[in-house]
Structure 1
Amino acid sequence: MRKFDLLEKLEVYQIDILIYLSNVGGTTTKKELLRHLDIGNYFLSKLLEELMTSAKKSNDCFSIEVNKHTIIFQTKPDYSLHTLYNELIIHAPKYTILEELLLCGTIDVTRLCEKIGISHSTYFRKINELNILLNEFDLTIQNGSLLGSELQIRFFYVSLYSVTDPKHQLKAPNVDPRIYETANHIQQLLGSPMSVLARKKLIIYLSLLKRRNAQKTIPDFSELEPFFNNKSDICSQKRFVNALKNSRLFKKINETLGSFLVYYSFKMPPDEIILLLLFMLGEDIIPANSHCLKELDLIERYSRFFIQTLNNEFFDFMKTCYPNTCLNNYHRSTLQYYLNSISYRHLIFKGHIDSYWELNYTEQEKTIHSESIQHFVNYLKEKYPVIFVDPTHDTVLITKYAHALSFYEECVKIKISVGIFIEGDLLCKKKFTDQWIKYVGLNTFAEAGPFAPNQFYDLVISNVDCSYLKKRGKYFFFLTNYNEKKDFSDLDQLLYKIYSS
């Protein structure tokens, strides 16, 4: 599902106009815009009128000036298209319908149509459009209610709110202070600060939990299918869930969430803790350096969880592609965390909301469809066919595997060793040595440090043209000026030449 699928046709064109204007420097002619959009004069005039109305409502955060032949677009420094994009979405009929389902549990069609200003026939057309989008999440709207597994419903709304960023709903006093307290307590239990995005997702989740309990729309979990959306290894999934119920993390979360629900006089369903823990695993809520990960690793091993199998397959494949290479402990633990994360997400949830307006897939597609990653994916499809069951959902996993492969390649790639020797007074020497180390470090294939007399380098960089220094490197680069642009340009060419040789 793409974020802009929630917009109406008119709004899609409006965003397209602003993106085009931004890309060309803010000014263009009507003729160029008509050619870009492939529309007529009347429709363009209507679009520009709507944009000028939006500009007035933005308190002059952006402006559209229409002259006889030209159009000028300007924004304040702290205002972005992302902000306008989200404002358009949260006022779109499809988004309003989704929010009504969340806030009220069910839809009163007549009242909602009056609120949005649409007819009944338009409402039902929007429901059909939404059901096409929601199918990716195994959700559907029927008789004014959202149907699907409880975890999928929560996952969908967390995803939706994460990409549309309804800040007014996530700030005090709009968020119950008790929710913030519970999020803080969970963070303490994890023993490490959560990322900003992880904390935001957890707050949204707890807000959803409170609201759905108040609406009494949470179904009996005992009547549901297994918690995992993907049925690749149901036996290991059951073993994992049972082991998770006996973990220290489960007991701590149980106490925290129990206090949260009791405060509102809500009953604690038997598997509510499991839902929260699975959500946390699938949405990267648990930090990479949390002490809880050690216990989770033991649980995965004990239950012979399928994620361990997938990770081992990936590392074995990388060893085949890059024999005689080895990751250091830091890189391996980082990659292990990432692989766990993408596997949990793929196995637990279904669906994805692309938060970008227009993503440039050129380089990404090259990576995804590169020979290596395609070979790995084909191998998994043949050996574990139940992993890949939905092309749209599978693309997200394949893309993330491509990122993992790229990370592995970067880690094992042999880097060019560079020694920096700057002559001068103490402060200048330190300043310019650090400057050049930092600049060389911008290249992923080079690693620089202060010159060491007992070391031999691929390249020595210095402001002193000295035969001794030249002998300590395969190549020597003489600085004409510490920060002259020509030095940067020439050095880039030399580094690339060394790397390519």
Structure 2
Amino acid sequence: MDLYDFIESNEARDVKLLQLLLTAGTHGCSYSRLLESLQVTPSTLAATVASLQQRLQAFDEAAQIRQCNEGKGRRLFLETQKPVLFDDLYRKLLRQSKEYQILATLLEKGKCRVDEFVAQLYMSKAAVFRKIKQLNLGLKSHAIKIKNGTLTGSEVEIRYLYYQLVLNSYDSEELAALAATFSARRYIKRFEARSKVKFSPHGEIKLCVWLDIALKRHFTGDKKFTGIPEETLHQLEVNPLYHMIRNWLFEIAKQYALALDEFEVYNIYIFVCSMDIIDFSATDPRHVEKYLALALPTVQQRNQYFMAALRQICAGFETQCSDASRIRMQYTLNQLHHRIQFFQGDFRLLAQPSDRVSINDQQLQHLETLASELTAIVAKDDPCCAAPAKRLFLTQHYVRLLMVTHVQIAKPIRIGLLLNDDWLATSAVMARLKLALAGMCSVVLEIAEAPATYDLLITSFKMSSAAIAAKYHYQINEIETTYDIDQIKSLLVSIIREQAAISSQF
């Protein structure tokens, strides 16, 4: 499902323009690129600029989109006094859109006649049918369809769509406020006590949202589409976690006089096993490992394939990975592999902050290649991963997992300078290198001394480097003039490729 499927075409242009301007930052975005990216005429671009500026002034009265014709040609810049977040504008437009309101109504009420939409949205019948047709195009890939005033398809996928739509419609503070009003929230504490795991604040909010959706859909969903695969149900009959969830859920049902069926137990189980909700800072790692041991056999097999392949491709990466990082990685991997087992699609519309990891392009390319190799190994002969969309889903999440692990165990590249006892020249070179290499990778520059070992040692031609250990050497022949920064960067690339800040290859 695309980011712009739920908002009007003119509003989508505003959002795309904001994305381009925010990405360009202080450098601005060229006029020609804006025309090409938005696929609009100059007059439409001018109207879009005016529309976006008006929208932004609702967040910041001083916001303006300025044009400049100097230097690199005609460019547009976004200038604000307050930080402008893309998510804020998108959420506002999302909740205002007709498609969103139609879908949200169907998800909550279960059924709604066209005449009701006409009255609710102040639209003609023909316009409502057009909106429903557009929505069905976006939902097709997830085997969900709006038909006869209701949503048809797997109840699991419908609830998952509902869940993702809620998470993307509200910011973290609004979600926390919604969760705080959930009457069964106190029962989550009982679940934590029994399972001996602590949910993170965001994880608790996620679980509250899912429980609230389960309660609403229990009364409005179509029970014809709530079947549980027999093989899975047979495996769950002897699963302690599944039985604990059943007992916990039936306690809640008894308190509220609800008649729950086995599907509702299954519905909570697959969510707990598929989403990252544990607070590792407040949970004993031993209890996390006990939880991991309860994974379904098919999921355990995927986990084992991944870890075995990673060890083979990146020999020794675990030596740099702490026990806490290893368990965290295995937990994330376990949740991901359950997720592709139980859910068909990824309805996430907005990137989460955890995805925005500080990593340079060279390292990202390396991790993307590694993720593709791991996907090919894990997905081989796995019917659950046969569809190209599932493999792409795996690869994208493997990249995120590898990036997080990369940052957790990354080590900066250590560069030593030994320049003919000329401290003034050494300081000048160090300052220039620090500026030139900024953003390429994490670098520590220091005056080289024995017995330290460096990834890269930079020396002058008069100074012997034999007494100081280093993996790579670069010699400056004329310290007073210039040195080849491109060659130094090339050496750093070689170091990155070797260690990639994740063991020797990871």
Shift of 1:34: 4.9
In 2, the alpha carbon distance for the partners of 1:273 and 1:36 equals: 47
Aligned to 1:203: 208
CA contact (8 A) 1:3 1:163 kept: no
CA contact (8 A) 1:34 1:41 kept: yes
Query: How many residues are treated as equivalent by the alignment?
Result: 454
- Equivalent residue letter for 1:394: R
Aligned to 1:349: 343
Residue-by-residue CA offset, 1:392-431 (whole Å, 9 max, x unaligned): 23311122334556778899999867899xxxxxxxxxxx
Seen in structure 2, the aligned counterparts of structure 1 residues 153 and 29 have a Cα distance that, compared at 3 Å, is closer
CA contact (8 A) 1:240 1:299 kept: no
In 1, the alpha carbon distance for the partners of 2:342 and 2:190 equals: 25
Shift of 1:150: 2.7
Residue-by-residue CA offset, 1:460-480 (whole Å, 9 max, x unaligned): 99xxxxx9x994544899xxx
Aligned to 1:275: 267
Asked whether 1:135 is paired with 2:156, we answer no
- Equivalent residue letter for 1:116: L
The aligned runs of 1:263-342 (5 Å cut-off) are 263-288=255-280, 289=283, 292-300=287-295, 305-323=297-315, 326-327=318-319, 328=321, 330=323, 331-342=325-336
Aligned to 1:243: 238
Aligned to 1:394: 391
Seen in structure 2, the aligned counterparts of structure 1 residues 409 and 72 have a Cα distance that, compared at 3 Å, is closer
Asked whether 1:7 is paired with 2:7, we answer yes
Residue-by-residue CA offset, 1:55-82 (whole Å, 9 max, x unaligned): 4654738456899x99774434243222
The SS at the match of 1:107 is coil
Give unpaired runs (5+ residues) of structure 2.
69-73, 418-436, 475-481, 499-506
Aligned to 1:496: 492
In 1, the alpha carbon distance for the partners of 2:376 and 2:56 equals: 50
CA contact (8 A) 1:178 1:260 kept: no
CA contact (8 A) 1:352 1:393 kept: no
Aligned to 2:71: none
The SS at the match of 2:220 is coil
RMSD over aligned Cα, in angstroms? Answer: 5.1
The SS at the match of 2:151 is strand
Seen in structure 2, the aligned counterparts of structure 1 residues 381 and 262 have a Cα distance that, compared at 3 Å, is closer
Seen in structure 2, the aligned counterparts of structure 1 residues 79 and 220 have a Cα distance that, compared at 3 Å, is same
CA contact (8 A) 1:21 1:27 kept: yes
Please, what TM-score do these two structures have when normalized by structure 1? 0.71
The aligned runs of 1:125-204 (5 Å cut-off) are 125-165=130-170, 170-172=175-177, 176-204=181-209
CA contact (8 A) 2:192 2:199 kept: yes
Aligned to 1:424: none
Identity %: 19
Seen in structure 2, the aligned counterparts of structure 1 residues 319 and 209 have a Cα distance that, compared at 3 Å, is closer
Shift of 1:134: 1.8
Shift of 1:346: 0.7
Farther off after superposition, 287-296 or 389-398: 287-296
- Equivalent residue letter for 1:391: P
Seen in structure 2, the aligned counterparts of structure 1 residues 382 and 57 have a Cα distance that, compared at 3 Å, is closer
The SS at the match of 1:345 is helix
In 2, the alpha carbon distance for the partners of 1:173 and 1:405 equals: 33
The aligned runs of 1:396-411 (5 Å cut-off) are 396-403=393-400
Shift of 1:278: 1.2
Shift of 1:306: 1.0
CA contact (8 A) 1:94 1:130 kept: yes
Give unpaired runs (5+ residues) of structure 1.
228-233, 421-439, 462-466, 478-485
- Equivalent residue letter for 1:8: E
Shift of 1:127: 1.4
The SS at the match of 1:146 is strand
The SS at the match of 1:387 is helix
Asked whether 1:217 is paired with 2:211, we answer no
CA contact (8 A) 1:278 1:348 kept: yes
Seen in structure 2, the aligned counterparts of structure 1 residues 298 and 449 have a Cα distance that, compared at 3 Å, is farther
Residue-by-residue CA offset, 1:121-154 (whole Å, 9 max, x unaligned): 2211221221222233332211111223332222
Shift of 1:352: 0.8
In 1, the alpha carbon distance for the partners of 2:261 and 2:364 equals: 44
Asked whether 1:82 is paired with 2:87, we answer yes
Seen in structure 2, the aligned counterparts of structure 1 residues 38 and 401 have a Cα distance that, compared at 3 Å, is closer
In 2, the alpha carbon distance for the partners of 1:219 and 1:273 equals: 17
Asked whether 1:383 is paired with 2:381, we answer yes
In 1, the alpha carbon distance for the partners of 2:246 and 2:254 equals: 12
Shift of 1:87: 0.8
- Equivalent residue letter for 2:338: Y
CA contact (8 A) 2:227 2:263 kept: no
Residue-by-residue CA offset, 1:361-408 (whole Å, 9 max, x unaligned): 9879955873x5545544455433x13232223311122334556778
The SS at the match of 2:347 is coil
CA contact (8 A) 1:134 1:140 kept: yes
| 1:100 equivalent among 95, 105, 116 | 105
The SS at the match of 2:146 is strand
In 1, the alpha carbon distance for the partners of 2:367 and 2:454 equals: 35
| 2:228 equivalent among 195, 220, 226 | 226
Shift of 1:10: 0.7
Shift of 1:4: 1.9
The SS at the match of 2:228 is coil
In 2, the alpha carbon distance for the partners of 1:368 and 1:453 equals: 34
Please, what TM-score do these two structures have when normalized by structure 2? 0.70
In 2, the alpha carbon distance for the partners of 1:407 and 1:65 equals: 37
CA contact (8 A) 2:18 2:52 kept: no
The SS at the match of 2:276 is coil
Seen in structure 2, the aligned counterparts of structure 1 residues 103 and 411 have a Cα distance that, compared at 3 Å, is closer
Seen in structure 2, the aligned counterparts of structure 1 residues 336 and 193 have a Cα distance that, compared at 3 Å, is same
CA contact (8 A) 2:309 2:377 kept: no
CA contact (8 A) 1:418 1:458 kept: yes
CA contact (8 A) 1:194 1:287 kept: yes
Shift of 1:209: 2.3
Seen in structure 2, the aligned counterparts of structure 1 residues 31 and 180 have a Cα distance that, compared at 3 Å, is same
